[in-house]
Amino acid sequence: MSTAFNVIATLIAKPDQQDTLEKLLRELLEPTRLEAGCEQYDLHQDLQHPQTFYMLERWSDDAALADHDQSAHIQSFRAKAAEVIEHFELKRLTLLA
């Protein structure tokens, strides 16, 4: 049985693309929060490096994240954001304490 887990997505905008990336990330919030299995989906910005954004996520199971990954809004985001993202990293975490 799959158990809930956390995700941290790190996205770094290309030079002069910070505002565009932020707008695209904000557009993901509402549709993602409505997805089955999405328990948390919060956007953060690094105070020292404002071109860096973090999406803090919690998913009920692997299937929920897989469905999210294939959703229309994520596919649209990828197409639009490809030109403005310098770096992307996704880490899956389990809460220990």
The pTM for the full model equals 0.93
- Which residue carries 């158990």 as its tokens? 3
Q: Are 23 and 81 in contact (CB under 8 A)?
A: no
Q: What is the pLDDT confidence band of residue 59, given thresholds at 50, 70 and 90? A: very high
Q: What is the pLDDT confidence band of residue 95, given thresholds at 50, 70 and 90? A: confident
The pair of structure tokens assigned to 85 is 């993202």
Considering the domain 5-93, what is its CATH architecture? 2-Layer Sandwich (3.30)
Q: How many CB atoms lie within 10 A of CB 12?
A: 18
pLDDT single digits (tens) 18-52: 999 999 999 999 999 999 999 999 999 999 999 99
Q: In 3-state terms, what secondary structure has residue 79?
A: helix
Q: In 3-state terms, what secondary structure has residue 46?
A: coil
pLDDT single digits (tens) 65-92: 999 999 999 999 999 999 999 999 999 9
Nearest one of 11, 91, 16 to 43, comparing CA atoms: 11
Percentage of residues of the chain with pLDDT beyond 70? 98
Distances (CA, A) of 45 to 4, 54, 57, 62, 85: 24, 6, 14, 26, 14
